[in-house]
Amino acid sequence: MTTPRAIEKREGAITRPERTRAGRVYTPNVDILETGEELTLLADIAGARPEDIDIQYERGELSLRVKVDAREPEGERGVLLREYGVGDYYRVFEIGEGIDKGRIHAEVHNGVLTLHLPKVEEVKPRKIAVKTA
């Protein structure tokens, strides 16, 4: 006879999603710039096509998943030296709720993803006018 066991839910135990695809996963190098109007994220995602980039923003968390297909040798020639690794990219950021998710937009050019995260009006800096008495 078996004894029933309680299933424990462990908060925060999984930091990466379970993969269903074999291969390497890289953490892309990222720069995040801030202005009064928006956050701009620049990510190195060499070999990525726009249709293979998945960007999600939910409850203040921004996730970036990029699928990159393996390169095939050209024609009949084999690979003599391989230093550049090919694989998918994955990264998650806690951005907060101050982003206007309806206005988020992105573009990719020469292997660099530029992601624009406009701020909501409530979190934008406000200039306070000072009057003379």
| Rounded Cα–Cα distance for residues 88 and 78 (Å) | 23
Task: Return the domain boundaries, the chain.
Answer: 30-70+86-123
Task: Report the pLDDT averaged over residues 40-48.
Answer: 94
Beta bridge partners of 65: 54, 90
| Rounded Cα–Cα distance for residues 123 and 120 (Å) | 6
Amino acid 110: pLDDT: 94
**Pick from 47, 14, 13, 56: nearest CA to 28:** 47
Cα angle for residues 34, 59, 63 (degrees, 5° grid)? 65
Residue 100: count of CB within 10 angstroms of its CB: 15
79 by DSSP, 3-state: which? coil
Lowest mean pLDDT, pick from 1-5, 42-46, 93-97, 103-107: 1-5
Query: Does the pLDDT of residue 99 top 70, yes or no?
Result: yes
Give 19's contacts (C-beta < 8 A, 6+ positions apart). 25
Q: pLDDT band for 81, please (50, 70, 90 cuts).
A: confident
DSSP 36: S
Amino acid 22: pLDDT: 66
CATH number of 30-70+86-123: 2.60.40.790
Amino acid 73: pLDDT: 59
Q: Is the Cβ–Cβ distance between 99 and 41 less than 8 Å?
A: no
- The residue with tokens 């982003």 is 99
Amino acid 9: pLDDT: 39
Task: Report the pLDDT averaged over residues 102-111.
Answer: 95
